[in-house]
Amino acid sequence: MRVDIYCRDEAQGKHSYLAVPEGKPIPEEATNTDWHPEASHVEVDDDHDDLPRYHIEHALAQIGDKGYAITGVAQQF
């Protein structure tokens, strides 16, 4: 699966990332914050669905559950 990645600034200079299926809009429940485009057409490996560069774990499972995947609080940097 390919995804588009968005970024937002967090407190204390940290960042979070949001992955949505390529070409899809950010789901409504996640649009209440200021996301800006970070990368397009990022390939998620079906066998290893983490996106370590963006600190997103279990991206495909998250997308399957809620339509997007997001950096966990513990992984914010």
- Number of other CB atoms surrounding residue 52 within 10 Å: 9
Residue 22 · residue 4 · CB < 8 Å: yes
> Which phi-psi region, left, alpha or beta, contains residue 65 (left: φ > 0; alpha: ψ -120 to 50)?
alpha
Q: Scan for tokens 């970070």, then name that residue.
A: 38
pLDDT given at position 17: 94
Over the chain (77 residues), the average pLDDT of each successive run of 10 is: 94 90 89 87 91 94 94 69
What's the total number of domains in the chain?
A: 1
d(CA 63, CA 69): 5
Determine the pLDDT at residue 75.
62
Residue 71 lies in domain: 2-75
